[in-house]
Amino acid sequence: MKKNLAIYGQVRTGFVGRSTYLRENFDTMSDTDRPNIEIKSAGCKGQGVFATRALPRGCHIYTLSGRRMTLLQIVVGIVASKIRNDDPLQIGRFLYLDLDAISNKFNHSCDPNCAIMRDSDLVTRRDIMAGEELTFDYSLTVRPSFYSWMWHMSCQCGSVRCRKRIGDISSVPHNQVEESASDGLLQNYMIEHLSKTKKSHG
């Protein structure tokens, strides 16, 4: 894992502190430009969220929301079976969102068409056709830790990039992390984490 983290750290020098196209586009987009979405069946995955019209790359879709909880609160909730292990979205080293009913409908893909920026803003990472399911890579939102080391999900997203097993960000091939990083398509806390990893590895 240390070797992988060192690789991720190298990514950081290219994007931290730099305004990318996607970030600038996102910042200037008004609410009225933002797209409609719908929740419907996504086959064996259960429900999913779909685009109701074609969307350009760099478009804000939705801000995932939920109750802000600490890691300890999340672990207690999971042990008490009040929170599903796979549902919370990490937004800080020890901070999570226990996603609400709509926010947790966005499914994972190992080759996603969306990404999470800032804390929980979902944006398109490529042009999307009307009717496409909107997905993001869960692994890119999970910081490596003792807790993440114990967490994983199986994946059958069907993409040629499918990793079969969804783990933390260290389970994502470093060229794919680099791809997201170079477009600024990572959460702020993850950018900060990669930055610190880079420093700790000189």
Task: Summarize as ranges the residues that interact with Zn ion (CB under 5 A).
Answer: 110, 155, 157, 162
**Nearer Cβ to Zn ion, position 143 or 163?**
163
Q: Is the dihedral of CA 159, 60, 192, 85 positive or negative?
A: negative
**Nearer Cβ to Zn ion, position 11 or 157?**
157
Residue type at 134 in one-letter notation = L
**Nearer Cβ to Zn ion, position 69 or 110?**
110
Question: At closest approach, how far in Å is the CB of 122 from Zn ion?
Answer: 18
Containing 42, the helix (H) or strand (E) segment is none
**Nearer Cβ to Zn ion, position 114 or 157?**
157
User: How do the residues of the chain divide into helix, strand and coil, expressed in percent and rounded to 5?
Assistant: 35, 25, 40
Question: At closest approach, how far in Å is the CB of 150 from Zn ion?
Answer: 20
Question: At closest approach, how far in Å is the CB of 61 from Zn ion?
Answer: 20
Distance, in Å, from the CA atom of 132 to the CA atom of 49, rounded to the nearest integer, reads 9
Question: At closest approach, how far in Å is the CB of 154 from Zn ion?
Answer: 9
